[in-house]
Structure formats: structure tokens, C-alpha cells
Amino acid sequence: MPTTKQLLSSAEVARFTAHGFLRLDGVVPREMNEEALGLFAAGTLPAVPYGTPVPTAFPEASFTRRLLELPVVAGALESLVGPDPEIDHHFVHVRMPHEGSAQALHADALIDVRPDAFDVQLMYYPQEVTADMGGTLVVPGSHLRRINESDTGRYQNLRGQTRLTCPAGTVLLLHHGIWHGGRRNDSDTVRHMYKIRFNPTVPQVRLWDTRDLDSPAVREELGRFFPWYEQATGRLEIHNRVLLWRSLSADPGFDIEHWATRIANRPGAPAAPTATAAPTTTAAPTAQRSTA
């Protein structure tokens, strides 16, 4: 197994920016999947306070630490949230056989509306998920249309939605705003999904392998429409996506169909006023944590 982190390409990050998720099929080895099922069934994962650094949350050689250090997982996470992220929370979701109900379609963290930054939620599936096991429902391209958590709960189906079926050892990385929900389990098997939410601690700017930044594939991904988008209103999703990509790529001139450039056009607008210098003081400076 390779030990070097495998950073994402620009096209892959653009795909995440457009879809709101990235899927890594079968990347966790079989022996780790078997270990995970035992841990999840026993309920032995430690509690982790909000904002705990990964090394503190998950000691060296622990299962979760080894999961996050798999090169493909480590590289994808670093490409999206950067090195040394903090753990917001982690939880094992369990769907019992023939439970008869599904989770309503929703988005997490209703108050989190950052336009130029995002958390990443990792969902790990230690066993094969078949169609009758339900899987996680995701609406591609929904992450930048802000809703109040369960506003979408009344919707039963949207064109283009995906219900995850996957091989054992699959990892899904999601933008925190994606619309999703756990489907009901109609099988005879208990279904497990392990979720970890990551908070970045560095600016999310060009964290990936940028050698293909100017590839046509990047623009192709960022210009993608999804079946549930309205003909007119769906353009807002593209516009918001352009703004996010400008931030991620440090390219303030990037655009698609001239939409963001047109909206920002202010001919002859006066320059922003210059801030007045703060008065000098002899008091000792107060250390502050950067919120960039």
C-alpha cells in the first residue's frame, strides 16, 4: 500500500465544488472494515469534544487515526480542508433491519452559511451497501442552496438524486451544506455508517495538486447543471459555485458565462474609504486567533 498522501487534482476539487461530494469507492482494506464492524457494534468509540485536533481526538494506532491516515483518504481531506483540521464531532449511525422509516431529507448545520469556506463530513461504510439496505440519499449540487435544516423534509424524490450503493470500505466526503438523508433499511442486515465532521484550521486556498488548474475539465465540472435545477433559478447555483471557486483557486477573475463578472460590474464606483488608523497605545497587545 502506498504511504504518500494522494492529493486531489484540480478537476476532482472542481467536481466536489459542483456536486458537493466526492466518492472514494472501496478504499479501506477488508481487515479494517471487519475491525470497524466490531468496534461499531460494541459502541467503543471515544467521545470527542468540539474543536479537538485530530491527533488529540484519535491517538496514534487507534482505528479512526489509521482510517484517516490511509493515503487516499488523507490526501483527499488535506485537499479540501487542509492539514491539521479539527474534529467537530463523530458518530456511528445505525439502521436496523426492516425498520420501516427513513430520515427526512435535510442539510446539517442550518446556521452555517459561509460562502467562501466549508466543513467536510466524512461518511465511511465498512460493509457493502445494497439497494435493499437503503443507503444514504444525496442530492447532487444542492450544497450551495441554503435551507433551514429540514425545510426539504417534505420532498420525497428529486430528479437526479442518488441513493448510495457501494462496496465495503467506501468513503464519501461531503460539503456540510449538502441535502441528504438516510434511507430505510429493508434488508435483514444491520447497516453502519461512521460520520466525522472536520473544521479547517487554514484558509482553503489551493490545497490540492494544482498542476491541472487550467485544464478544460475544471471548467466543464464547474459548469455542470443537475436535473433538479430550474431552467432560470438554477443559474444561481452556478453563480454561487463560481464565487466559491474564485475563493478556493485564488482566481478572482474566474467566471462561467460572464455571470459573476456582470453582477460585479460597477463602472465609476468610488473607491472604498480608507480606514482611519487606530490611536497608539502602550498596552500590551492581546493575542488573537486568526479566523481566516
For cell 439496505, the residue is 133
Using pLDDT thresholds of 50, 70 and 90, give the confidence band for residue 101: confident
Q: How far apart are CA 61 and CA 65, in angstroms?
A: 6
> Is a pLDDT exceeding 50 seen at residue 53?
yes
Whether the CB-CB separation of 43 and 194 falls below 8 Å is answered with: no
Using pLDDT thresholds of 50, 70 and 90, give the confidence band for residue 62: very high
> Is a pLDDT exceeding 90 seen at residue 291?
no
> Is a pLDDT exceeding 50 seen at residue 68?
yes
> Is a pLDDT exceeding 50 seen at residue 286?
no
Whether the CB-CB separation of 144 and 229 falls below 8 Å is answered with: no
Q: All 3 cell numbers of residue 205?
A: 486556498
Which residues pair with residue 250 across a beta bridge?
A: none
**Does an H or E element contain 262, and which?**
helix 259-263
Using pLDDT thresholds of 50, 70 and 90, give the confidence band for residue 54: very high
How many angstroms separate the Cα of 137 from the Cα of each of 21, 30, 184? 12, 24, 10
Termini Cα distance of the chain:
36
Q: For the chain, what's the residue count?
A: 292
Q: All 3 cell numbers of residue 137?
A: 440519499
SS (H, E, C) 65-130: HHHHCCHHHHHHHHHHHCCCCEEEEEEEEEECCCCCCCCCCECCCCCCCCCCCCCEEEEEECCCEC
> 163 — phi, psi (to 5°)?
-110, 115
For cell 487516499, the residue is 72
pLDDT tens-digit map of 176-196: 999 999 989 999 999 999 999
Domains, the chain, with CATH or none:
10-199 (2.60.120.620), 215-263 (no CATH)
Using pLDDT thresholds of 50, 70 and 90, give the confidence band for residue 207: very high
For cell 460539503, the residue is 175
Q: For the chain, give the percent of residues with pLDDT over 90.
A: 70
Using pLDDT thresholds of 50, 70 and 90, give the confidence band for residue 272: low
Q: How far apart are CA 145 and CA 234, in angstroms?
A: 10
Q: All 3 cell numbers of residue 271?
A: 473607491
> Is a pLDDT exceeding 70 seen at residue 278?
no
Claim: this prediction has a pTM higher than 0.85: yes
Average pLDDT over residues 148-174: 88
pLDDT tens-digit map of 16-39: 999 999 999 999 999 999 999 999
The SS3 of residue 193 is: strand
Task: Note the pLDDT of residue 273.
Answer: 56
What per-residue string of b and e applies to 83-110 under the rule 16 or more CB within 10 Å gives b?
Answer: eebbbbbbebeebeeeeeeebebbbbee
Using pLDDT thresholds of 50, 70 and 90, give the confidence band for residue 263: confident
Q: How far apart are CA 61 and CA 66, in angstroms?
A: 6
* Lowest-pLDDT range of 74-88, 97-111, 115-129, 238-252: 97-111
